[in-house]
């Protein structure tokens, strides 16, 4: 299903500007798990930082999401869809480390709006 220009501007308002617009997004990733009895950690934060850099930040940062980051060539880069996409990029990476699992991905689009995804269908 495709929406007309008019429907788009009605639904998205200023965010439908054909020339696009930018945000300083903030991503918050929550990990759940039992702490390792030796290290006292559920996940080495250095490792988490590397995963975030490689799988998310280097892919998204300073890009035109609609053109340069899949799947946003096909789906609308709302903050809802961005949270889901980041979850999909991270889930297996974090699972593979053992104790920790991805609990939630929160994406703040502005100070007044964020979306959280916990992998629910």
Q: Residue 3 interacts with other proteins (CB under 8 A)?
A: yes
Instruction: Decide if residue 1 touches other proteins (CB under 8 A).
Output: yes
**Binding residues for other proteins, how many (CB under 8 A)?**
23
Q: What's the CA gap between 95 and 28, in Å, rounded? A: 17
- Judged by CB under 8 A, does residue 60 bind other proteins? no
Residue 6 within binding range of other proteins, rule CB under 8 A = no
Which part of the chain contacts other proteins (CB under 8 A), choosing from 20-28, 49-57, 60-68, 75-83? 75-83
The answer to whether 84 contacts other proteins (rule: CB under 8 A) is yes
Distance between CA atoms of residues 112 and 36, nearest Å: 36
Q: Is 49 strand, coil or helix?
A: helix
Residue 14 to residue 111: CA distance in whole angstroms = 17
Supply angle C-alpha 59, 64, 67, rounded to 5.
Answer: 90
Q: If binding is defined by CB under 8 A, does position 36 make contact with other proteins?
A: no
Nearest to 61 by CA among 73, 69, 70: 69
Cβ atoms of 97 and 33 within 8 Å: the answer is: no
Does 80 interact with other proteins (rule: CB under 8 A)?
Answer: yes
Q: Which is nearer to other proteins, 28 or 44 (CB)?
A: 28
How far apart are CB 111 and other proteins at their closest, in Å?
Answer: 7
Residues lying near other proteins in the complex (CB under 8 A) are found at 1, 3, 11, 13, 75-81, 83-84, 111-118, 120-121
């Amino acid at each position: 299903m495709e929406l007309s220009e008019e429907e788009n501007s009605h639904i998205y308002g200023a965010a439908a500007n054909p020339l696009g617009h930018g945000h300083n997004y903030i991503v918050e990733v929550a990990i759940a798990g039992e702490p390792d009895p030796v290290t006292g950690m559920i996940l080495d934060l250095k490792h988490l930082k590397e995963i975030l850099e490689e799988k998310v930040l280097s892919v998204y940062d300073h890009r035109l999401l609609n053109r340069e980051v899949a799947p946003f060539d096909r789906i609308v880069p709302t903050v809802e869809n961005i949270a889901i996409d980041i979850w999909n990029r991270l889930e297996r990476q974090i699972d593979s480390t053992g104790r920790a699992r991805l609990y939630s991905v929160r994406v703040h689009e502005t100070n007044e709006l964020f979306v959280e995804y916990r992998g629910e269908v």
